[in-house]
Chains A and B, each alone.
Chain A
Amino acid sequence: MISARGVCVRLGASDILHGVDLTVTDGEVVALLGANGSGKSTLVRSLVGVLPLAAGSVELLGSPLGPSVDWERVGYVPQRVSAQSGVPSTAREVVSSGLLHGRRLRLPRGWRTRTDEALELVGLRDRAQDSTSELSGGQQQRVLIARALVRRPDVMILDEPVAGVDQPSQEAFAATMRRLVSQGLTVLVVLHELGELAPLVTRAVVLRHGQVVHDGAPPAASPGTTTRRTSTSTPTTTTRATTRAPPSTSPTPG
């Protein structure tokens, strides 16, 4: 579904990625891990054609990056930078823009229903008419998830989709993903914590300084415990204890 060979990306004067190979096959859920600045966003942005490749090649759904890709089957959730556009737009308008792809430049018939269904999936159906600038950061993130879901993709590329999203919404998101994955969705997801998605993840790829340093089993983590490992051969990550389970948890900023 996704196949990257020797991807090098240069931003400004520095080489951010040095020869990254990444293959995601049908039905896999691959977590892309790594420290801040390790190049995760750079990698996924180059996979969807936002950043030019200095070397290497990328294939999406069997076609080289470009107009021949069946973009309707690809859903992308960018890492949010809170740049607001100059004109207000409603959640419904933003989500509906996910229905355009490739050469489809106009909204299809029934776009409103499909948009509202996608908003329903992220629990924002009742905020459809609200301006996105009136939504909280986590709600805006959920709008972006809905924008990727609305075209019913076969492969999703998500860059920290649940950063800043509260626990119930993360659970709802994980439930949606579980259902879609069981229907055959392929996922590449950038994460810092496997969190609610941990049971779904079939493989983990770890980036460090723009190179793949691990590609294999996801870090073992069971909910409710905090795992910290220092071995170099296995990825290091922490899973956060769910805030609900232990009754004596002190308040966490929501």
Chain B
Amino acid sequence: MIDELVYMLTDPLMQRALIAALLVGLTAPIVGTYLVQRRLSLLGDGIGHVALTGVALGWLVGAAMGLVPQDVLAIPGAVIAAVVGSVAIEIVRSRGRTSGDVALALLFYGGIAGGVLLIGIAGGTQSNLMAYLFGSISTVTGADLVLTVILGVVILAVGLGLRAALFTVSQDEEFAIASGLPVRFLNIAVAVVAALTVTVAMRVVGLLLVSALMIVPVAVAQLVTRSFSRTMLLAAIVGVTVCVTGLSITYWHNWSPGATIVVLAIVVYAVVATVAPAIARGRRRHHHDPHPDIPDDVRVRPESTSVQGAPAAERKGGDDPCSA
């Protein structure tokens, strides 16, 4: 067992894959926390679909320029398309004209259809897109890894460095405007960072499952936390754990890494959702009562209540109706 682990960790292909998975597991939930807070959980999906068009577009340009591996421009294409798409969604959302819902739907269908259409024009087949739709972490090259690390650092710098400001706009945009914060800039920063996250995660879990990595760890964390910072921290821990564990499993089993990681995340969710209420109940037992010393500002006089025909006896310690 130990031998096998050492063997896995010394395999350069696996090393690259593990680093990529680690970065994705860390960044996707951090960005996802803001998306969930803004109730834009599906944004990642919308961006993912647009990124597919970008992949095909990169392919088309690469083919036209006669570049050797035809798909060298696929990832840059995805980055550009994802950024443009997410900024467009943000503009539509902030104008408040079309509901964000409809804008997302347009992106979903337009993105997939555009991708399939363009890849055909570029002389590729739909199966060329499969690697992007479902992930292809086993083919991460050194250059891919460098790009992934750079993007990951940018995402972390924005997502953590601007945490207080991004929290403020995501929490209450109206208050943020009334505080003179650069709200438009911050909103676009979230959109751009979400787009970068999608393209980084594309290699690991594929465009169709990207959003799961941004959302499911946050959903797990929410089950047990009460604060924003704890939610973000726990989501990142869950994200890193499922990504690294899921990827390692596929070293021994010939399963799809992306699907394994996402299923693992959902299993974690199911387990925590089952266990969390019991833990919370246990904790509440030692906890203060839910109505701590709230002063009685209204004096209840027995006569005045009986006037309304409902004689209310003074509650004594023992007759809590909930304790029955």
Contact = CB atoms under 8 A, between A and B. Distances in A.
- Tell whether A pairs with B: yes
B226 A78 contact: no
B164 A100 contact: yes
Interface in A143-181: 147, 157, 166-168
Contacts of A131: 226-227
B222 interface: yes
Contacts of B231: 87-88
B227 A105 contact: no
B115 to A, nearest CB: 29
A102 B179 contact: yes
B218 A102 contact: no
Contacts of B227: 88-90, 92-93, 129, 131
B92 interface: no
A252 B298 contact: yes
B200 to A, nearest CB: 22
Interface stretch (B30-38, B61-69, B241-249): B30-38
Given A71-B180, A87-B36, A100 B165 contact: yes
A49 interface: yes
A35 interface: no
Contacts, number: 135
Interface in A90-149: 90, 92-94, 96-103, 105-107, 126, 129-131, 134, 147
Interface in B206-222: 218, 222
Nearest to A148: B175
A32 B312 CA distance: 41
Contacts of B179: 71, 74, 76, 98, 100-102
Secondary structure of the B contact surface, majority rule: helix
A168 B297 contact: yes
A69 interface: yes
B226 A251 contact: no
How big is the A interface, by class? 35 or more
Given A78-B174, A87-B37, A101-B181, A106 B164 contact: yes
Chain B: interface size category: 35 or more
A160 B241 CA distance: 47
Contacts of A71: 179-180
B27 interface: no
A224 to B, nearest CB: 16
A208 interface: no
Nearest to A134: B226
A86 B37 contact: yes
17 contacts: A45-B174, A48-B178, A50-B177, A85-B37, A85-B172, A86-B41, A88-B225, A89-B171, A96-B164, A98-B175, A100-B168, A102-B181, A105-B165, A129-B227, A251-B298, A251-B299, A252-B298
Interface of B: 33, 36-39, 41, 161-162, 164-165, 167-168, 170-172, 174-182, 186, 218, 222, 225-229, 231, 292, 295, 297-301, 304-305, 307
Interface of A: 45, 48-50, 67, 69, 71, 74, 76, 78, 85-90, 92-94, 96-103, 105-107, 126, 129-131, 134, 147, 157, 166-168, 243-244, 247-252, 254
